[in-house]
Chain A
Amino acid sequence: MSIQKVAVIGAGVMGAGIAAHIANAGVPVYLLDRVDDDNPNRNHIADAAIAKLLKTEPAAFMHPNNARLVTPSNVEDHLHWLKEVDWVIEAVIENPDIKRALYHQLEGVCRADTLISSNTSTLPLKLLSQGLPDSFKQRFLITHFFNPPRYMRLLELVSDKTINPNLLTTLHDFADVHLGKGCVDCHDTPGFIANRIGTFWIQSGLLSAIELDITIEQADALMTAVGIPKTGIFGLLDLIGLDLIPHVLASFKQLLPTTDAFHQFGTAPALLQRMISEGYTGRKGKGGFYRLQPLEGRRIKESINLQTGEYQTSVKPAGLKLPKSQAELRQWLSQDDALSRYAWRVLSSTLAYSASLIPEIADDINAIDKAMRLGYNWQHGPFELLDMLGLDWFVGRLTAENQAIPTLLNNRKALYTINAGEKTFVDLAGGYHPIPKAEGVLLLADIKLKSPAILSNPSASLWDIGDGVACLEFHSKMNTLDKDSLNLIRQSIDKVKTEFAALVIHNDAENFSAGANLGLLLQAIHSNDWPAVTELITQGQQTYLQLKYSPFPVVGAPSGLALGGGCEVLLHCDAIQAHAELYIGLVETGVGLIPGWGGCKEYLYRWLHFSKRPGGPMPAIAQAFETIAMAKVSKSAADAKQMLFLSITDGISMNKDRLLADAKAKALALLPGYTPAQPYSYSLPGASAEAALDMAITTLRLAGKITDYDVTIAKQLAGVLSGGGCDIAEPLTESDLLALELKAFLYLVQQPGTLAKLEYMLIR
């Protein structure tokens, strides 16, 4: 069985968001809700939900066209459609009676092998399936998505022994491969894994900050430094909505035994209650712990003083950098100052609580760490954090403070170890087990445990990923590209020529590459070192050309941001296998430059050879001009295809953990009979096209849509894309285009306007 069609019942925020993400996977989905008796359109609620999805920011759909896969419907007229679907997701109000009544209806309508799941975040499975026949229970489970469903990778699954294992496998595979989710099997306990620990952590952080007189900026800076998560606690509360908290706390209070440590942090502070009653519910309301207040045409960030409850101008604490070494970190956490005491209290209580929940909420620590990473965007899970602190020290300090020691921590063994190049985790009895991996999952992090890099320098490395394929990894800060990166690309080309069959360019980081290292460029500008700029540009152009004409397949495998020089390297690959969340663009104009490493040349080529564009040279030039001049960035990999950063044959992987394996497979598929790219020429209209673009630039300037300096940048870009002073009857070579890029780049770097933009960007 496979999942070809899905239905979601309940078009609220979660139900609609889940439906959108299923459409993102290319799977048709019915979105059902009740009939609104006050509206003649019987599908009004589902229709309105889809319309809202199309306006949601961040976007729920990876491409607006995906909305066509969502069919609005209602439970009164269309329930019989559900016999066509393979999976029904119930996302109605959290009321067990209403849910069970619906399940009885579904039992009568759906095929026997149709999966039925609930998206409940609080209700136990046993309560939901109470009184339902075994024929229902054998295909029923909880599938708990996190908000927003497109972006949050965690999917918590709760099932019991009665479920048909084949159906469960089908669901796992679909969620993993097609929805890109990290599935975590949870036990049937309140809040499952992520919300159980996440709520405890939020409450601990909130109440301790009030008690220890820590400002919300300090608290958030601390959590950001720890990496759990980037927003910090108060930023996260504003994001999820303050009004949700009392409901969640009430639910836990009711469901958890009084002995559960949750209850020590189980009450919402009066301040939170007051804020909610006054409409300060977070970003969706008037503001939350932070708010933006208009003042003389600007917006001033303010924050709540936790002691007085009044807003005041937000003061960003000096950058908080936690010590990197274990010893220094321990020392910092032992200091007798308010922030260290706060950090210790929140971390120790949360980590100890997490450890106490094995085996209650999950079989093992790996499940909990994965859930917190994927569901709460923690950089490290609680047990990974515990290993960073060291169990001996942590347990010793808990003991000194007369705190209870969770069973899991009693034997004080490391929670994770590397065994024969494989990461293993500890169980309650002290035994170690390899972390389970689904077939088709290949992570560079795992490769690194097995063998050393083939080549390496501070900015990039080359790894052997097996089957004759090498992987080039960028690993500088934000994966910006510098001379070291370019050097390693050239060295990798030589290496792959003799020792491998194909090359993949990929890294596990959040972002593929933020572009060229502008700091180096700025140094050269400050010292008027134009030969250095020329060398940097020429070196990049020649390196990327070598990559393009190398005698083996090169596949780019980006995820997250791929900007500027990061985009240009991908444009020179034979093929791209992209993660669905790809934000790619040639954004150089934003810092007063134009793409100089062959980006103009390659992107123009893609438009010139796009068969669906109108004829003649100008449509291609105009499209490339508009995208580059406006520094447009794709909103997803699907959007990148529409913008021609990706070609029609490039692949998209929904699950980031599968990206490297998919890219490797793509590289191997290109191998039989591989012939390197052949040089091509450009027939461009030269001065006529430049005049046409100049007309458009002038019109935009007159209408006040661009600045005088934007005009300067746009004119340089227009000169490159038009082919300089060439005649359409005399085709240009790639080298001609690269020379035009270099000339325009050198002109712009010598302008004060570009210097100002670069300095602003780097200081910001």
Chain B
Amino acid sequence: MNNVVIAGYCRSPFTPAHKGQLAKVRPDDLVAQVIKGLIHDTGVDPDDIEDLILGCAFPEGEQGLNLARLVVHLAGLPISVAGTTINRFCGSSMQAIHNAAGAIQMNAGEVFICAGIESMSRIPMGGFNPLPHPKLYKDYPQAYISMGETAENLALHYAIKREAQEIFALSSQQKACTAQSTGLFADEIIPVTAPDGSIIQQDGCLRPDSTLVALANLAPAFLTNGSVTAGTSSPLTDGAAAVLVCTETYADDHGLDKLARIKSIAVSACPPEIMGIGPVLASQKALQRAGLTLQDIDIVELNEAFAAQTLAVLHDLPIPLDKLNLDGGAIALGHPLGASGARITGKAASLLKREGKQFALATQCIGGGQGIATVLEAI
């Protein structure tokens, strides 16, 4: 077995779709700048890279064709670097890491860039041309259920009150604001140059002025009498993230900074109408494959699609809050669909190192009813 390690992580600033500073940046340009930053920061020799595996949830328009191969050129990578674009919706770029890990185990390469991208400003969620299968839509409409509705379903099923969601969302905002003000994101953010020459280097989704009173005043976003609001949902976001995945031997031989070893991976599926519960089974599978229990885990990055969804997961997967999303989660930072998997896996790896802990879990729910999880261990 080849040990697989994460030897670098970075991301762009995450900014709100449409009104944020990245709205006018093409997604291919955005992720190319982040990959250039990763190459620069890790010091990896680009000639050694086997493949750019790029996750994207709506690979069309400016994210279309085989985006990964085009980004190879935009990022100035050698012509020898291959590129593949993959889609598992929100889990796309964590899946990119899984694909690299699998390839390494097959001796199908030593060094991979695993990245994710989503410009939710420029390519609408659902894509430009949603054309559902009419019969499937009629017979099994939940296959196409909206994400907001799934969060409401979990809130109902797990009796998660609106107040609890708001307390969780506020906590996410507070953790992220603290991390931002104390410079904890400085190492991971690659400044991005916009077409007008301006430099964007700070996250833009955070709401430092958020209060429980303000959250309580928001109208339900998805159901007339629902409990989920814009304040307790992750915002539509533009952003990109990338991690360097390689064999441990390669990292050692080339003096790369190893953040964590990938110990196990898993995907799972669940009914689409409660897709948010996906991390429970995926995490259980990954933990079992790693020979660990939840109690062994020191750091958890759980993607916060919705507060209700995260709280439902915590009900079945009782993660202590002091181990969860130490620098805030997607409710505060934003959730650029294709990029979030690389962000939370890279983040979990770097937190293991920063906090000096042993094991980490990164996990996500996925639209359509899936979960994905990665267990990491310190080196």
* A contacts, CB < 8 Å to B: 614-619, 685-692, 694-695, 698-699, 702-704
Contacts and interface: CB of A to CB of B under 8 A. Distances in A.
B131 A692 contact: yes
Nearest to A728: B131
Contacts of B223: 702-704
B128 A615 contact: yes
B128 A703 contact: no
B129 interface: yes
Contacts of B130: 618, 692, 695
A566 B269 CA distance: 53
B222 interface: yes
A236 B65 CA distance: 61
A686 to B, nearest CB: 8
Contacts of A698: 146
Contacts of B132: 688, 691-692, 695
B222 A702 contact: yes
Contact of B146 (A615, A686, A692, A699): A699
B144 interface: yes
A616 B224 contact: no
A424 to B, nearest CB: 59
A619 B222 contact: no
B222 A691 contact: no
Contacts of A615: 61, 128-129
B30 to A, nearest CB: 18
14 contacts: A615-B61, A616-B129, A617-B129, A618-B128, A619-B129, A687-B134, A688-B131, A695-B130, A698-B146, A702-B149, A703-B220, A703-B221, A703-B222, A703-B223
A702 B151 CA distance: 13
Contacts of A686: 134
A271 to B, nearest CB: 41
Contacts of A691: 131-134, 137-138, 144
A619 B128 contact: yes
Interface string B109-149: 00000000000000000001111111001100000101011
Nearest to A702: B223
Nearest to B138: A691
B120 to A, nearest CB: 14
Given A699-B149, A702-B149, 19 more contacts: A615-B61, A618-B128, A618-B131, A619-B128, A688-B131, A688-B132, A688-B133, A688-B134, A690-B134, A691-B133, A691-B144, A695-B130, A695-B132, A695-B137, A698-B146, A699-B222, A702-B222, A702-B224, A703-B148
Contacts of A690: 134
Nearest to A687: B134
A704 B226 CA distance: 10
Interface string B200-225: 00000000000000000000111110
A155 B131 CA distance: 55
A621 to B, nearest CB: 9
Contacts of B61: 614-615
Contacts of B134: 686-688, 690-691
A618 B224 contact: no
Contacts of B138: 691
Ranked nearest first, the 3 interchain pairs of A and B with the lowest CB-CB distance are A704-B224, A616-B129, A687-B134
A694 B137 contact: yes
A615 B123 CA distance: 12
A618 B137 contact: no
Contact of A703 (B129, B133, B137, B224): B224
Nearest to B136: A691
Contacts of A702: 146, 149, 222-224
A688 B131 CA distance: 5
Nearest to A618: B129
A686 B135 CA distance: 12
Contacts of A688: 131-134
A690 B131 CA distance: 8
B200 to A, nearest CB: 23
Interface string B278-311: 0000000000000000000000000000000000
Interface in B178-196: none
A572 to B, nearest CB: 28
A702 B149 CA distance: 9
A695 B129 contact: no
A418 to B, nearest CB: 59
Contacts of B149: 699, 702
Contacts of B221: 703
A492 B128 CA distance: 43
B144 A695 contact: yes
Nearest to A694: B137
B144 A685 contact: no
B131 A614 contact: no
Name which of A617, A690, A691 has the most chain B CB atoms within 10 A of its CB. Answer: A691
A391 B136 CA distance: 79
A437 B133 CA distance: 63
Nearest to B149: A702
Contacts of A685: 131
Contact of A689 (B128, B131, B144): B131
Nearest to B130: A692
Name which of B131, B133, B223 has the most chain A CB atoms within 10 A of its CB. Answer: B131
B128 A614 contact: yes
Contacts of B224: 702-704
A695 B128 contact: no
Interface string B164-186: 00000000000000000000000
A698 to B, nearest CB: 8
Contacts of A704: 220, 223-224
B38 to A, nearest CB: 30
A98 B222 CA distance: 58
Interface in B259-289: none
A615 B64 CA distance: 11
A704 B130 CA distance: 23
Interface in B340-357: none
A456 B129 CA distance: 49
A690 B61 CA distance: 22
Nearest to A619: B128
